[in-house]
Amino acid sequence: MPWWSKVVTGGVTGLVLWGACQLVPWDAGRVYDSRVGMDGDVQLASGDRMTVVGLGDSLLVRPDSWFRRVCATGDVGSCENAGVRGDTTSGMYTRLGVDVLERKPSAMVLMGGTNDLRDDTPADVIVGQLDEIVRGAEDHGIRVVLCTVPPRDEYREQALALNDAIRSYAAGHDLKLLDLYSVVGTSEGLYGPGLSDDGIHPNAVGSERMAKLADVELPSLLG
């Protein structure tokens, strides 16, 4: 019995079973979205196996997300988008077994924490949950690239603190880091002018900036 089926009990098991029923099957060379069907699929170069899973929230799963744009180039191989709108790091950990480990990718791109800020979760607790996800993936031979999160205007100070904690954690654990905040955020914890329409998600211009950085850095980070 896999470890993730041992650690969940009670109501959380219901969440895992719901997720397992809603996941769409993987087909090499295509991007699918867990939970939300196959709207906005992107055709990629075909391959023998999936190489990258993106685990996160709406910042990955939105139709114009930076992760979709990068996957569409084919430069990182075949991708699966395991973003779930509104998810927190604890939810991502619950989904790790079904959405990542069972798919046996070569690597995982992890971007989480922005929705934890709504619940006033301290940065050290969020990073502790990210660490659980990282160790769970690495224990199964999956390389991990951790991402900083973009600004969240309503929680600007908390977002800055979280990203500082993510950077420190990555440096302290020799973990690959993709610092996406650096291309869309200001030192005040806000989006740069014209980069977001709601203060939470990057707009098309912001997503393009993030994708350009990922296009340059992600292939070597995943290598």
Q: What is the pLDDT of residues 9-59, one digit of tens each?
A: 333 333 333 333 333 333 333 344 444 333 333 333 344 455 899 999 999
pLDDT digits (tens, 9 = 90+) for 168-182: 999 999 999 999 999
Residues ≥6 apart with Cβ < 8 Å to 49: 28, 78, 104, 105, 106
* 37-51, 65-79, 201-215: range with highest mean pLDDT: 201-215
* 164-171 mean pLDDT: 98
Global confidence as pTM: 0.81
Question: Helices in the chain by DSSP H: which ranges?
Answer: 3-7, 10-22, 58-61, 66-73, 89-99, 123-138, 156-172, 181-184, 204-222
| Segment (H or E) for 146 | strand 143-147
Best CA proximity match to 107, nearest among 67, 157, 73, 69: 67
In this structure, are residues 191 and 150 in contact, taking their beta carbons and an 8 Å threshold? yes
Exposure string for 178-194, b = 16+ CB within 10 A, e = fewer:
bbbbebbbeeebbbeee
The token duo for 171 is: 């440096």
Averaged confidence pLDDT in the chain:
83
Of 166 and 9, more confident: 166
Domain spanning 3-222 has what CATH number?
A: 3.40.50.1110
Instruction: Give percent above pLDDT 90 in the chain.
Output: 74
pLDDT digits (tens, 9 = 90+) for 114-155: 999 999 999 999 999 999 999 999 999 999 999 999 999 999
